Chains A and B, each alone.
Chain A
Amino acid sequence: QVQLVESGGGLVKPGGSLRLSCAASGFTLSDYYMSWIRQAPGKGLEWLSYISSSSSYTKYADSVKGRFTISRDNAKNSLYLQMNSLRAEDTAVYYCARGELSPLDQWGQGTLVTVSS
């Protein structure tokens, strides 16, 4: 069955970096755009970024533009989010999801990123 599994979250100091991964299985990753969405503790959902199936096109939310980079390796069935210059307000559960402007029809379980000194 379709599965998305995020990893790479953890505790990081302000100004630090972290790389999240999302392992896809049960479908052909290269057929789909993919997205990252986050949810701060007790808050709603915030779309962060999406990437086209061939990596030729990416888009970012203003809140992370210039700090976060989305990428993918279709051969490894993996999606990534490189997060630099992290701030306290980046503390959230980060989800990968299948789709972009299409409905997000499959989501991972999420990985928690905590930015704190």
Chain B
Amino acid sequence: KAGVTQTPRYLIKTRGQQVTLSCSPISGHRSVSWYQQTPGQGLQFLFEYFSETQRNKGNFPGRFSGRQFSNSRSEMNVSTLELGDSALYLCASRANSGLQTEAFFGQGTRLTVV
């Protein structure tokens, strides 16, 4: 069974631009959640999608948005990029909804904003 796939693995963007990251969950998993990892703030939860609906949301500004498609693949979008958005963005899939269940993580997309 293939694991969680995140694309691209690395990305360099300029301040003010927008970016879209993609995550394909494990086959059969319907929940996808996104996390931001930085040296200063550690790992922080962004949001969770289940069956194309946002179920939970962390404390991030509206510049961070996401969506989930009918095949459970998810995209995360960040608009008007700031230098502080440089981070490793991790995606995780779960078989069922609910952050209390086991998550399977992808390798992440490393975003650098210059």
Q: Do A and B bind each other?
A: no
